[in-house]
Amino acid sequence: MRLTDYLDKGASLGAAAPCLTTEGNSLSYGEVQELSWKVARALERSGVRAGEKVAILSGNDPTAFSCVFGIARAGAVWCPVNPRNEAGENRDLLDLFDCTCLIFQGAFAALVTQIMPWLPKLNTLVCLDDQVPGAASFDHWLAGVPETRCERAPVDDIAMIVGTGGTTGKPKGVMLTGHNLETMSALTLMSYPFPDRPVYLAIAPLTHAAGVLCFPIMALGGEIVIMPSPRLDTFLTLIERHRVTHTFLPPTLIYLLLGHDGLDSADLDSLLCFWYGAAPMSATRLEEAIERIGPVFAQLFGQTEAPMMISTMAPADHFLADGSLARSRLTSAGRPTPLVTVAIMNEQGRLLPAGKRGEIVVRGPLVMAGYYKDTEASEDAARHGWHHTGDIGYLDEDNYLFIVDRAKDMIITGGFNVYSAEIEQALMAHPAVQDCAVIGLPDDKWGERVTAVVQLYPESPATGGEIRRFVRDRVGGVKAPKQVEFWSDLPRSKVGKVLKNDVRTTLLGSGLSAQDRPLHDDEDQ
């Protein structure tokens, strides 16, 4: 399937049904179809050919998302650009992707003006909602295009190029095919509960997970309610008003939701599937969320290179056969999905048995076509015939996947391997801890010392010694933090992941905290 097929499938179930809704206004499936044909013809008239790259720089907006289907109808490649990126990062991405056309909101006109001199290949600028010098207004750009429909085949089935998160260095361009997204959509539909016409509330950026989750919703003729900004009070109101059945939040926003004054009084009975993912979630907070919001939480694990559905855990899988909570599973990433093969591999390329830890590797039609213009990185990611995720984990006897860390985040202290994710789970069980990050810092005695940076709930005091003892009682002295720092907030990526490189750089640059210097006594180790 092509991206346009999801829209057209939804329209075949009722062209007048609401497709994209924001702030009380809806575009029907038929209206989104008409707009997509016009955008395709306007791209063709602007000289954009099949296989060329068209970027969209916009906040969550139904017109901007409608343009995705126009790009696909023209046979061009959709390049989502995150509006939260710095100007230099967006310049590098647009240059890397060889974009020839940029469709943007007026709010980003200053950014566009700043980066344009460095992008000679970018010859078509279209502003969605304003008059900007050097750019065509959206209405003028569409004016007078032929009424005939435009349907051009994509080149090599490449549907989109997505920049990697950039948390490990310079971003790369992940080439995703129509077949990749078809696989992802099929796995979504077979892994979670859906009514005939679901209602999906998109609060996270449509440039990331929230966007590609729209495709399976459209295949069922469902309504997508788009939030322009991530306000949790509005989020709760919209679930009740639109009888939302599906939504997605990263763990950091779920933690904030659990602390929201309006949560317990909100009517959330319409929810069937509350997806969480993009970063590890505290089992303690997940149990609280299930208790307070309902048995609707559904995990997904994927990455840009194998989008969304490497493994899944449906709402029912959070419970045992007798109806009790399956606490031992709450730290897992669910089971590998039916169209994906998952294995655990050691550094020599040998697959490991159940229970053994190694790198999580993946095969199947979910895996990307490769990195754009980076053969070396593509070959490295596909060594031994498997896609390498960079995550360390294991499969248990019941084939549940447990992710214990990113390979680069493993800490070696006193000759022992310590996985930061395990320590973070222990920290998050403390009632005063809102969020945290665990890293290794250089240490003359231990090689690396386990260091915790903790964000406390407001008016929830805790000391470093208390935190250390709490973790030590749960995971032992070797793994317990030797250094505890308290920060008012943690640096995060555009999708809510804590940026451990930034945490490490800050700590190395600032020296040790005067309040909580590390312990170096053998008794504590």
Percentage, residues of the chain above pLDDT 70: 95
What's the one-letter identity of residue 506? Answer: T
Residue 460 lies in a domain: yes
Cα–Cα distance for residue pair 289/252, rounded to 1 Å: 13
Last residue of a domain, one of 160, 178, 196: 178
Residue 205's pLDDT is 80
Confidence of residue 54 (pLDDT cuts 50, 70, 90): very high
Q: Is residue 301 part of a domain?
A: no
- What is the rounded CA–CA span in Å between residue 492 and residue 454? 14
Here the tokens at position 340 are: 């994906």
Please state whether 366 falls in left (phi above 0), alpha (psi between -120 and 50) or beta.
Answer: alpha
Assigned domain for 171 exists: yes
pTM: 0.84
Whether 158 shows a pLDDT value over 60: the answer reads yes
Per residue, the 3-state secondary structure of 249-316, as one string, reads ECHHHHHHHHCCCCCCCCCCCCCCEEEECCCCCCHHHHHHHHHHHCCCEEEEEEECCEEEEEEEECHH
Give pLDDT tens digits for 136-154.
Answer: 999 999 999 987 888 999 9
What is d(CA 468, CA 479) in angstroms, rounded to the nearest whole number?
Answer: 10
Cβ–Cβ < 8 Å for 439, 500: yes
pLDDT of residue 474: 86
Average pLDDT for residues 356-371, to the nearest whole number? 97
Q: Is-contact 136 102, C-beta < 8 A?
A: no
Among residues 178, 195, 223, the one where a domain terminates is 178
3-state DSSP call for residue 195?
A: coil
Statement: residue 262 has pLDDT above 90: yes
User: Containing domain of residue 432, as a range?
Assistant: 410-510
Residue 477 domain flag: yes
Least confident of 98-112, 222-236, 399-413, 469-483: 399-413
The sign of the CA dihedral 143, 146, 149, 154 is negative
Closest CA to 27 of 67, 63, 53, 51: 63
Residues 6+ apart with CB under 8 A from 134: 113, 116, 125
Q: Residue 429's domain is classified under what CATH number? A: 3.30.300.30
**Digit-coded pLDDT (tens) for 479-498:** 899 999 999 999 887 667 78
- Confirm if 234 and 227 have CB atoms less than 8 A apart: yes
Q: Is 220 helix (H, G, I), strand (E, B) or coil?
A: coil
Above 50 in pLDDT, residue 515? no
Question: Does 51 fall in a domain?
Answer: yes
Q: What is the per-residue DSSP string for 32-95?
A: HHHHHHHHHHHHHHTT--TT-EEEEE-SS-HHHHHHHHHHHHTT-EEEEE-TTS-HHHHHHHHH
Above 80 in pLDDT, residue 514? no
Asked if 34 contacts 145 with a C-beta cutoff of 8 angstroms, the reply is no
Convert the pLDDT of each residue in 3-39 to its tens digit: 999 999 999 999 999 999 998 899 999 999 999 999 9
Position of tokens 């969550």? 60
Beta bridge partners of 357: none
- Give the 3-state secondary structure of residue 135: coil
Q: At 336, which amino acid appears?
A: P
- What's the pLDDT score for residue 494? 65
Question: What values do phi and psi take at 493, rounded to 5?
Answer: -80, 180
Single-letter code of the amino acid located at 472? R
Kindly state the average pLDDT of the residues 96-111: 95
* Mean pLDDT, residues 200-227: 91
- Higher-pLDDT residue of 517 and 311 is 311
Q: What average pLDDT does range 161-188 have in this prediction?
A: 86
Residue 243 has pLDDT above 90, yes or no: yes
Place of tokens 């860390």: 405
pLDDT tens-digit readout, 290-348: 999 999 999 999 999 999 999 999 999 999 999 999 999 999 999 999 999 999 999 99
| β-sheet bridge partners, residue 325 | 319
Q: pLDDT band for position 517 (50/70/90)?
A: very low
Give per-residue pLDDT as tens, 375-421.
999 999 999 999 999 999 999 999 999 988 777 777 888 767 787 88
Tell me, what's the pLDDT at 319?
Answer: 97
Distance CA 290, CA 268 (A): 12
Count Cα atoms within 13 angstroms, Cβ side, for 347.
Answer: 1
Q: Is residue 147 part of a domain?
A: yes
**Residue the block writes with tokens 């403390």:** 430
Q: What is the pLDDT of residue 406?
A: 75
Q: Is residue 129 part of a domain?
A: yes
Instruction: Report how far residue 374's alpha carbon sits from residue 379's, in angstroms, rounded to the nearest whole number.
Output: 9
CATH number at residue 161: 3.40.50.12780
pLDDT given for residue 519 in this prediction = 43
- Given this model, what pLDDT does residue 40 score? 97
What is residue 6's three-state secondary structure? helix
How many structural domains compose the chain? 2
Give the domain-ending residue among 132, 152, 178: 178
With respect to residue 276, please indicate whether it lies within any of the assigned structural domains. no
pLDDT band at 513 (very low <50, low <70, confident <90, very high): very low
Mean pLDDT for the stretch of residues 64-81: 96
